[in-house]
Amino acid sequence: MVLTNNVNELRLLIKKSSAGNVGLVPTMGALHAGHLSLVKRAVESTSLVVVSVYVNPTQFNDKSDFSRYPRTIEADVALLQSVLRSNDIVFAPTDAEMYPEPDTRQFSFGNLEKVMEGPLRPGHFNGVGQVVSKLFKFVEPDKAFFGLKDFQQVAVIKNLVKQMGVDIEIVPCPIIREPDGLAMSSRNQLLEPKIREVAPAIYQTILKAATMFGKEEPEEIKKYVFSSLEATGLLVAEYFEIVDDVDLEVLNSNKQIDSSNKYYGCIAVQAGKIRLIDNIAMN
Ligand code: AMP
């Protein structure tokens, strides 16, 4: 594994490796088994892997979320060393390296940014578009690996690839969970112990919600989800929406379930000061 924080060196390392195909795994560090599952998948299916570790300021709409976001680069490098090959690259740039000039680009993702995380995190997906498009240009990967934990992000990135007109295969990877069902997240380590204890209710609730799909109206399922989390006394659902996995059209009782669609129930939860997201396949 080779570590660099420099874009020119990154390009040179990729060029010199003359790899058959290149895989990119973008991360913000504080790595856990969820991230490593993406990296392992990349190692299996490409001959050169670039893992980026960068806490991208432009995608944080909440300053305190940005400042408390865990930064653990040494531990991250040690973990990556255990799964990467000798020629694979860890790219951990500085802000000056990523943004030598302020990025004024404005992306438009249509309906994909009008639902769920979009209105609650203004500017978030624009920041994701800025950083990921830069990484795509630096690395020119054949494949890029993203976790379905960030379900809406996967749809946005697929759209970004179309907008950029680049030939990059987006590989969505399944959600990795703690033994008690909580979706792994770098933010989990910031949860207060009492809240961490009840947090598995999120997964239990959406599991039950999935069993209600097709039998109960979406509004009824939503009510169940909100009240089930309220019953913990510590978790508050921000939204629960059932959407298709391409256009992210929100399902409601006025819309027919289209059995050729794949539907996901997506949730955001306020857990003390920390915001958690999760999702589950409904059909
Ligand atoms: P992050 O560092 O949070 O930006 O995440 C980097 C990548 O890892 C994103 O594509 C995430 O969707 C993915 N990821 C984060 N947590 C998990 C998880 N529990 N299971 C699978 N992928 C994950």
Residue 175, ligand 1, Cβ within 6 A: yes
Q: For ligand 1, pick from 66, 150, 158, 178 the residue to mutate: most ligand atoms within 8 Å of CB.
A: 150
How confident is the prediction for the chain on average, in pLDDT? 97
pLDDT mean over 24-43: 98
Which residues, in sequence order, are CB contacts of 63 under 8 Å at separation 6+? none
Q: Is the pLDDT of residue 17 over 90?
A: yes
* CB of 263 closer than 8 Å to CB of 251: yes
pLDDT above 90 (res 205):
yes
Q: In this predicted model, what pLDDT tens digit does every residue of 232-270 receive, in sequence order?
A: 999 999 999 999 999 999 999 888 999 999 999 999 999
CA 43 to chain CA mean position, Å: 19
Q: How far is the CA of 149 from the centre of ligand 1 (A)?
A: 6
Catalytic residue among 10, 35, 186, 280: 35
User: What's the one-letter identity of residue 200?
Assistant: P
Query: From the CA of 70, how far away is ligand 1's center (Å)?
Result: 14
Q: pLDDT band for 19, please (50, 70, 90 cuts).
A: confident
User: What's the whole-number mean pLDDT along residues 33-56?
Assistant: 98
Give 90-143 pLDDT, tens digit per residue.
999 999 999 999 999 999 999 999 999 999 999 999 999 999 999 999 999 999
CA-proximal residue: ligand 1, atom 12 (nearest)? 147
35 is catalytic: yes
Q: What is the pLDDT of residue 97?
A: 97
Q: What percent of the chain has pLDDT over 70?
A: 100
CA-nearest residue, atom 7 of ligand 1: 27
- Output the pLDDT for position 113: 98
- How far, in Å, from the CA of 184 to the mean position of ligand 1? 8
The set of residues, in sequence order, having a beta carbon less than 8 Å from that of 261 and lying 6+ positions away, is 244, 245, 246, 283
Whole-number Å distance between alpha carbons of 233 and 195:
9
Is 0.85 surpassed by the pTM of this model? yes
> How far is residue 221 from each of residues 90, 199, 213, 270, measured CA to CA in Å?
43, 19, 8, 19
Burial zone of 87 (CB within 10 Å; 0-12 exposed, 13-18 middle, 19+ buried): middle
- Pocket probe for ligand 1: among 25, 35, 190, the residue whose CB has the most ligand atoms within 8 Å is 35
Distance in angstroms between the alpha carbons of the first and the last residue of the chain: 40
Q: Is 222 in the pocket of ligand 1 (CB under 6 A)?
A: no
User: pLDDT class for 18, splitting at 50, 70, 90?
Assistant: confident
pLDDT at 81: 98
Distance (Å, whole) CA 247 – CA 115: 10
Range 141-165 average pLDDT = 98
Q: Is the CB of 128 under 6 A from ligand 1?
A: no
